[in-house]
Amino acid sequence: MQPDRSISELFAQRRPLRSLEFFPPKDDAGVEALRQTAAALKRIGPDFVSVTYGAGGSTRERTAQVSAMVKEEFGFTVMPHLTCVGHSRTELLDVADRIYAGGFRNVMTLRGDPPKGASEFQPAADGLRYASELVGLLKARHPDFCLGVGGYPEKHPEAASLDVDLAHLKHKVDAGASFITTQLFFDNAAYYRFVDRCRANGITVPVVPGIMPVLSLKQITRFTEMCGAALPEKLVKRLEAAGEQPEIVETIGIDWALSQIRDLLARGAPGYHLYILNRAKSALILAAGLAA
Ligand SMILES: Cc1cc2nc3c(=O)[nH]c(=O)nc-3n(C[C@H](O)[C@H](O)[C@H](O)COP(=O)(O)OP(=O)(O)OC[C@H]3O[C@@H](n4cnc5c(N)ncnc54)[C@H](O)[C@@H]3O)c2cc1C
């Protein structure tokens, strides 16, 4: 099997990269629905797609299954995610070897969130505490892995300050990460400030903005509360005015994302990563809007 191209090589072409994120469905029906989504998205030709890694249990196997499916059936360059949650070093190396043997050369490398109900992250026995350690482990095992890491324009919720968080982000890059994908945000000013502070802290790798087209006010309120991203009042007012009309809410979400992306690309962002929640529609409309 032909190994994937390294995403660093794609960034080196100095054109904006478009990437999409899938999450592994819980059951076979969900995988089939995702197959339809991937087929629809094939025509906009994303530069790569990523597949998240679940907190535990069967969805982890599905990360491998879905990654293989979208690579083999649709020819996408695929970046599986991997987290430290619940894994010993030996298990992490085993997963890494399987990712490598599957022809994947790009991995989104994360610590993961504490399991539901736990207030703080606890490493597994002989496991890892920080994503920077996982970056080091994977790079030592497979030096040609291209590793992405998460970045938080509005600070990781557990970090005491953005400065402290940036110092930890620098560890991840120094350990071998090639690019940063940000947590979702709705105010581009937060991204620009973050990139400036990354550069001031000696972080020179691409910082890819993560954009989520809103699908529902309730859902996005929950997501932003969890990840600490601010929801601009102007956006909330528009979503509230749309009330229980999902099509109008979706249109507002796509419009907001489109303005964000236009501005980001105009100001030199290295591309954009779309959190599409396994739906094709917003990505297709955004691609059409950006081509217009
Ligand atoms: C692009 C992206 C994709 C994601 N995909 C997934 C996914 O697939 N599955 C999933 O479960 N979660 C995913 N997440 C969520 C992520 O797992 C959580 O945000 C998690 O809480 C932190 O992961 P991290 O890799 O950023 O951790 P880390 O970089 O390890 O940071 C976690 C916290 O520890 C602090 N820290 C780091 N190093 C040190 C140190 N040496 N000393 C003290 N403190 C330190 C940091 O400041 C931060 O507060 C994703 C997040 C992003 C941004």
Give pLDDT tens digits for 172-207: 999 999 999 999 999 999 999 999 999 999 999 999
Q: Write down the pLDDT at residue 117.
A: 82
C-alpha of residue 150 to centroid of ligand 1, in Å: 6
CB-neighbour burial class of residue 117 (10 A; exposed 0-12, middle 13-18, buried 19+): exposed
Query: Which residues have C-beta within 8 Å of that of residue 45, sequence separation ≥ 6?
Result: none
Residue range 9-61, pLDDT digits in tens: 999 999 999 999 999 999 999 999 999 999 999 999 999 999 999 987 778 89
Query: Which residues have C-beta within 8 Å of that of residue 126, sequence separation ≥ 6?
Result: 88, 89, 90
Among 156, 129, 148, which residue's Cα sits nearest to residue 80? 148
Contact between 5 and 77 (Cβ < 8 Å): yes
Is residue 225 among the annotated active site residues? no
Residue 150 CA: nearest ligand 1 atom is 53
The pTM (predicted TM-score) of the whole model is: 0.97
Residue range 200-228, pLDDT digits in tens: 999 999 999 999 999 999 999 999 999 99
Is 155 a pocket residue for ligand 1 (Cβ < 6 Å)?
no
d(CA 124, CA 131): 14
Q: Write down the pLDDT at residue 86.
A: 93
Is 83 a pocket residue for ligand 1 (Cβ < 6 Å)?
yes
Is 133 a pocket residue for ligand 1 (Cβ < 6 Å)?
no
Q: Is the pLDDT of residue 1 over 80?
A: no
Among 106, 102, 103, 110, which residue's Cα sits nearest to residue 82? 110
Tokens for 282?
A: 């917003």
Domains and CATH numbers, the chain: 7-291 (3.20.20.220)
Is 150 a pocket residue for ligand 1 (Cβ < 6 Å)?
yes
C-alpha of residue 111 to centroid of ligand 1, in Å: 5
Strand-pairing partners, residue 146, are 106
